[in-house]
Chains A and B, each alone.
Chain A
Amino acid sequence: SQQGEEDPQALSIQEGENATMNCSYKTSINNLQWYRQNSGRGLVHLILIRSNEREKHSGRLRVTLDTSKKSSSLLITASRAADTASYFCATDGSSNTGKLIFGQGTTLQVKP
């Protein structure tokens, strides 16, 4: 079952612009995570935000979490061509088994 829905499905921007991706989910969670996937590769973890946190930063990445709306956003500032990838949100569904439920992903293209 797909817990998360991501919006938009695809995003194309110019280098230097900011990129915002949104994720909505259905059940309560312990944490929400964002991952990046370059074409044909494994996923790389970006940020984990716990249910009692509202905002988290890591370098050019900013993640927000609104548990009342069951939604999260990932902002990439000053984007670079190397940021071109697919971005996925994943939630644990409050199971505490380590299982993650992934969204369909947002494909980001950053044009040089």
Chain B
Amino acid sequence: DTEVTQTPKHLVMGMTNKKSLKCEQHMGHRAMYWYKQKAKKPPELMFVYSYEKLSINESVPSRFSPECPNSSLLNLHLHALQPEDSALYLCASSQTGNYGYTFGSGTRLTVV
């Protein structure tokens, strides 16, 4: 298995909803990442997990809450989002010390 799987592929949520994005990999990678990509812009790093511990938080608002329950799973919990949070959310993983990431196909999130 050489893939990063993200679910759901599309999500529409209201500003008062609580939802979660899920990411799964079975490549034995111990580093996992969340990125946000707006239309016609490059992906921007949000969080880095290394050995299931949050190691990097790029000053992301607290309405985004990451969680790494085990070495294969990464969640992003969403609460009270704003319409400007609508974007493609990408999950990635890598071997620690390997800088080429394996990305999932992303979750396209629309906040209404």
Please say whether chains A and B are actual partners in one complex.
Answer: no
Partner-B contacts on A (CB < 8 A): none
Partner-A contacts on B (CB < 8 A): none
